[in-house]
Structure 1
Amino acid sequence: MFDPYGSQLNGPVMWSRPQHGPQEHPHAMMVLILGVLGVFCCGACAPVAWALGARSLREIDASGGIYGGRHQVMIGLVLGIIGTIIMVAGGILFLLLVIGGRS
């Protein structure tokens, strides 16, 4: 059997398609974990999840389907925003209590 380019083949030509979808973005799970930590235990993780999530989301959109994990990044991003709001509100409340306690 010969292929179209003239070299001899030893059997039938088998063309295969990729069996899996897009590769998960390298930071998708980290954004999700930081977002959860930012809301439930460590508020300092929330702004990191927000920033890293926004960057990862831009990279996923620009990849043309190479990267997946958009749902994980979106959940981590939203949790990062919520955690940041909670952290800032808690800081403001703390400052008001400290200032109000001195009067």
Structure 2
Amino acid sequence: MSYPPYDPPPYDPPPYDPYYGPPLRSHPNGTTVLVLGILSLVVCSFLGPFAWSMGTRALREIDQSGYPYENRGHIQAGRICGIVSSVLMGITLLFVAFGLTVAIITEAGS
């Protein structure tokens, strides 16, 4: 007894999203934290601490809510940019203070 060859019918992939949960939300401060973080690195390092604190607060709110947010990565990136900018600003201020101290000591000695 011989069987006919089995040829499976072609099918399209299912038309649904692979995420099975409540719809993702967007945190209202996500874009603000990201923009402040980038601007603190590029333009004005005094914006770094603001991006850092706003990003930390937003991440805390996201973690406490228990819901998934679609812009968590943006908030993390802005916060990290704010941290880097704040550290660079602190190092710069230390160098300026050291330079002023050396200048004052040198001027007083002559």
Say whether the fold is shared (TM-score over 0.5).
Answer: yes
- Residue 40 of structure 2 corresponds to 38
- Residue 70 of structure 1 corresponds to 72
Larger Rg: 2
Q: Structure 1-normalised TM-score?
A: 0.75
Work out the percentage of aligned pairs sharing the same amino acid. Answer: 31
Q: Give the distance between the partners of 1:59 and 1:73, measured in 2 at CA.
A: 11
- Deviation of residue 21 (structure 1)? 3.3
The answer as to whether partners of 1:27 and 1:56 remain within 8 angstroms in 2 is yes
Q: CA RMSD in A?
A: 1.4
Deviation per residue, 1:12-54 (Å, 9 max, x gap): xxxxxxxx83121000000001111111111110000000000
- Deviation of residue 66 (structure 1)? 5.3
Question: 1:62 aligns to what SS in structure 2?
Answer: helix
Could you tell me which of 89, 92, 96 is aligned with 2:91? 89
The answer as to whether partners of 1:46 and 1:79 remain within 8 angstroms in 2 is yes
2:51 aligned partner, one-letter code: A
Aligned structure 1 segments of 4 or more residues deviating by more than 2 angstroms: none
2:37 aligned partner, one-letter code: G
Q: Does 1:98 align with 2:100?
A: yes
Q: Aligned residues, how many?
A: 84
Q: Which runs of 5+ in 1 are unaligned?
A: 1-19
Deviates more, 1:55-64 or 1:85-94: 55-64
Question: 2:45 aligns to what SS in structure 1?
Answer: coil
Question: 2:78 aligns to what SS in structure 1?
Answer: helix
